[in-house]
Amino acid sequence: MAVIVDRDVKTITRWTADQGPSGDEEQRRVIDTLQIVELLLAEDSPSVVRSWFMGMNPQLDDQNPAEVLAEGRAREVMAAARAYANEA
């Protein structure tokens, strides 16, 4: 998550204890990420989902989904997640 919203782990930890991210862009990325995680968790284990976010993805020009989300390209990552879920 820290990579996706371009914040350090300490900030993410604080968000979980407080009310969450304050910026609109950060909130959008968190929501997008959670929707993608939920989709993938319906088909696979948490460890596989974590690996999916960090691994190279051919549907994303061999970039990893976390980096693509960090660039604000959530629709592309959701499409890749749907394709993965349909194959599972």
Residue numbers of the domain that contains 32: 2-87
Closest of 72, 71, 68, 12 to residue 80, by C-alpha: 68
CA distance 38 to 54: 16
pLDDT attached to residue 10 = 66
Comparing C-alpha atoms, which of 12, 24, 47, 64 is closest to residue 81?
64
* Residue 9 or residue 61, greater confidence: 61
Q: pTM, whole model, 2 decimals?
A: 0.77
User: Which amino acid, residue 83?
Assistant: A
pLDDT at 42: 94
pLDDT > 90: percent of the chain: 55
8 Å CB contact between 32 and 78: yes
Q: Confidence class of residue 12 from pLDDT cuts 50, 70 and 90?
A: low
- Residue 43 makes CB contacts below 8 A (sequence gap 6+) with 84, 85, 88
How many domains, the chain?
1
Q: In the structure, what pLDDT confidence band is assigned to residue 25 with cuts at 50, 70 and 90?
A: confident
